[in-house]
Amino acid sequence: MNKFNVICVDDQPEVLNAVQQDLKPLKQWLNIEECESAAEALELMEELDAEGQMVAVVISDHVMPDKTGVELLAEIAADPRFEHTRRVLLTGQATHIDTINAINQAGIHHYFDKPWNVDKLVGCVRSLVTSYVFDAGMDYSDYREFLDAQMMLRRLRIY
Amino acid sequence: MDEEKLKPLIDRYFSTPERQMLLEAGTVLIEQGGNNERLYYVRSGKLAGFYSEAEESEEGSESTQVLSAGTGEFVGVHSFFSGTWTASSTVIAQVDSQLAWIERADTESPDDYSALTAQFMPLIVNELSQRQIRAMRESLAKEKALQQLYTAEQMTTLGQLAAGIAHELNNATGVVSSKAVRLEAAISSLINQANPELATFFETGLIQGQVLTSREVRERGKTFEKTYRLPKDQARELARAIPREGHIETWMKQHDVAIRAWQLGRDLYDLKLASQHTVGIVKSVKQLGRTEISHDEVININDTIMQAKALLKSDLRGVSVHFEPGTLPAFTGSQTELMQMWINILKNACDALKSTIAPEIHIHTRYSNGWYYVTIGNNGPEITEETRRKIFQPDFTTKKTGLSFGLGLGLSIVKRIASNYNGSVAVKSDREKTIFRIRLAPWNSNE
């Protein structure tokens, strides 16, 4: 079974670590990657794509040096290779304008405020990966037990 | 008004001995709204006219000075020539004043009146224009005072809010950090009792946390995966935990428990780090809300700059600092506040100069017309116009790197302090240099 990749981006290592640990319950079927900058995340996505791997979700902090989370997610949104990749902003420091840009330019699928609720974060990633699987038109049978059941039912009714 | 043109007028109308009087200081000459049928000429002394909104002068009703007449000037022009014969303000002698007057009766015959008005025309126009100019100046001054008050009010509110938050946060952080210390001791002793071998792994995590970057962990994980034939997740956990110079074989022997012990230590390390971080933030927030500062110290601004330079010695290493102190008279204010300003600006300059080759800071002080000017410039990168607009806002920062991040309070503190001293701070920046100009007046010198 090929694991889907979830990439977490935050310039503060302790925060990155905490996110990664919180996502542990999903480790059985997801590969959690950590990056300390937007550049590193883009590089890693390039690498994973070259290996034919799937990037299902990117969870990024917003306020980072060099490139912000919104800029990173906007860049990912514009890349046809990652058109199904789900984009999540996890930040405590976004202004009103940042948030507007996150929706209009980066088309984010979910917004988390820091500090985040672990169960909600895990649940959100689970349902985002589920929708990714369906949007990317992949065979979901291998992952049935892990996917978000409700989301799966809803998607199956449509198709 | 032209004295020479006025002289024949004075001689003719204001020289009758029985129409001269001495008004003692503090005596009311005419009441606002009252009848006034005289035009007074001030031979010597000084009078002031006050206008008050309230119909009767109730207690506490505020009156505004609208008129002042010194030697050679007139009182009652308004009521006399407007034909209302009603005083527009209450006129009181400020010092003992000698007055001469003419009366309405003098103007009873129409011919006399028009002759009088014709002669007094320049005087009337002059009086009206004086009043107009005075009203304009006052409204400008009022506008400015309101603006200052508004700024000061904003800053005080922000400061009080900050102090309140700082207090609450301090309590919360106090609990977090003391419990973290307690947990550390408890877990440490538990591990030592249960399995002393694991203590080393726990302590490695506790002492330095995770040292490797996410990139290093990824690469090292791949190597471990191959070398030790481990599943990806486990390889990566080990890559994260084992110090660069660590003895890998020791870890591999019991890697499952070793990782868990290390993670426990690492979590406590992060917890301590985060609470220290909070303490630091609270400290700088408190600075913003500081109220217990004494402003009557007599200080030398050049000295405070030298002290700020000394405090920032390590930050300024490698930067060539040129200080040209001007000759400054002693300044009244708070040494702490001034140093806070210089430290904030200099620290920002240091941060801005990080990637500049041959970094330089130029400091210059000058005194002129009651104002103290301090200019601090650096040859760092240009601050864009967009950033310049936001640079003094309390939540604006460009420093977001890891734990050394800024709160965006520095320059807002500078601005608040400068405004306390009736002063201002401005920033100019182009590709060659960035300059902060601070203008200050001694404490309370304007009151």
Judge whether B144 lies within some domain: no
Beta-bridge partners for B98: B22, B44
User: Phi, psi (5° rounding) for residue B40?
Assistant: -100, 145
Judge whether B63 lies within some domain: yes
Q: Is residue A23 packed enough to be buried (19+ CB in 10 Å), middle (13-18) or exposed (0-12)? A: buried
B325-341: string of b/e by CB count within 10 Å (b at 16+)? beebeebebbbbbbbbb
Asked if B325 and B421 sit in the same domain, the reply is yes
- Average pLDDT for runs of 10 along chain B of length 447: 71 85 90 88 90 64 79 84 85 92 77 74 81 85 81 68 76 83 90 89 89 90 91 90 86 89 91 78 61 76 85 76 92 84 87 87 93 94 84 67 48 85 90 92 69
Last residue of a domain, one of B108, B138, B155: B108
Judge whether B276 lies within some domain: yes
pLDDT band, very low/low/confident/very high, at A4 (cuts 50, 70, 90):
very high
Q: Give the model's pLDDT for residue B391.
A: 80
Asked if B309 and B435 sit in the same domain, the reply is yes
Asked if B305 and B279 sit in the same domain, the reply is no
With an 8 Å Cβ cutoff, the interface of chain B facing chain A consists of 209-210, 213-215, 217-218, 232-233, 266, 270, 273-274, 400-403
Write the CATH number for A53.
3.40.50.2300
- The string of DSSP codes covering A109-129 is SEEEESSPPHHHHHHHHHHHH
- The string of DSSP codes covering B238-259 is HHHHS-TTS-HHHHHHTHHHHH
Judge whether B149 lies within some domain: no
Judge whether B400 lies within some domain: yes
Contact at CB, B214 and A13, closer than 8 angstroms = yes
Last residue of a domain, one of B108, B129, B149: B108
- Could you list the residue range(s) of the whole structural domain that residue B65 is in? 3-108
Asked if B189 and B324 sit in the same domain, the reply is no
Asked if B281 and B346 sit in the same domain, the reply is no
Residue identified by tokens 């990824």 is B218
Name the amino acid, one letter, at B243: P
Task: Output the six-digit token pair for A54.
Answer: 């799937």
Q: Give the model's pLDDT for residue B110.
A: 65
Task: Output the six-digit token pair for B318.
Answer: 């490698």
Asked if the bond preceding A115 is cis, omega within 30° of 0, the reply is: yes
Asked if B236 and B313 sit in the same domain, the reply is no
Name the domain count of chain A.
1
Residue range A113-149, pLDDT digits in tens: 888 889 999 999 999 999 999 998 888 888 888 898 8
Write the CATH number for B320.
3.30.565.10
Which comes out higher in pLDDT, residue A108 or B134?
A: A108
Asked if B179 and B99 sit in the same domain, the reply is no
Q: Give the model's pLDDT for residue A75.
A: 95
Give the span between the Cα atoms of B50 and B62, in whole angstroms: 10
Q: Is residue B200 packed enough to be buried (19+ CB in 10 Å), middle (13-18) or exposed (0-12)? A: middle
Contact at CB, B270 and A65, closer than 8 angstroms = no
- The string of DSSP codes covering B346-412 is HHHHHHHTTT-SS-EEEEEEEEETTEEEEEEEE-SPPPPHHHHHHTTSTT--S--SGGG---S-HHH
Closest CA to B94 of B39, B16, B23, B163: B23
Last residue of a domain, one of B90, B108, B126: B108
Asked if B307 and B272 sit in the same domain, the reply is no
Write the CATH number for B32.
2.60.120.10
Name the domain count of chain B.
3
- Could you list the residue range(s) of the whole structural domain that residue A86 is in? 4-158
Asked if B389 and B340 sit in the same domain, the reply is yes
Asked if B326 and B372 sit in the same domain, the reply is yes
Name every residue whose Cβ is closer than 8 Å to that of residue A125 and which is 6 or more positions away in sequence.
A6, A23, A26, A30, A57, A59, A88
Asked if B88 and B14 sit in the same domain, the reply is yes
Q: Give the model's pLDDT for residue A13.
A: 85
User: Phi, psi (5° rounding) for residue B220?
Assistant: -65, -35
- For testing contact with chain A, the best of B277, B400, B407 (most A CBs within 10 A): B400
- For testing contact with chain B, the best of A4, A17, A36, A46 (most B CBs within 10 A): A17
Closest CA to A68 of A32, A29, A41: A41
With an 8 Å Cβ cutoff, the interface of chain A facing chain B consists of 11-14, 16-18, 27, 31, 33-36, 40, 44, 63-65
Asked if B54 and B189 sit in the same domain, the reply is no
- For testing contact with chain B, the best of A5, A8, A10, A14 (most B CBs within 10 A): A14
Asked if A111 and A99 count as a contact pair (C-beta separation under 8 A), the reply is yes
Contact at CB, B215 and A14, closer than 8 angstroms = no
Q: Give the model's pLDDT for residue B415.
A: 87
Task: Output the six-digit token pair for B120.
Answer: 């007094």
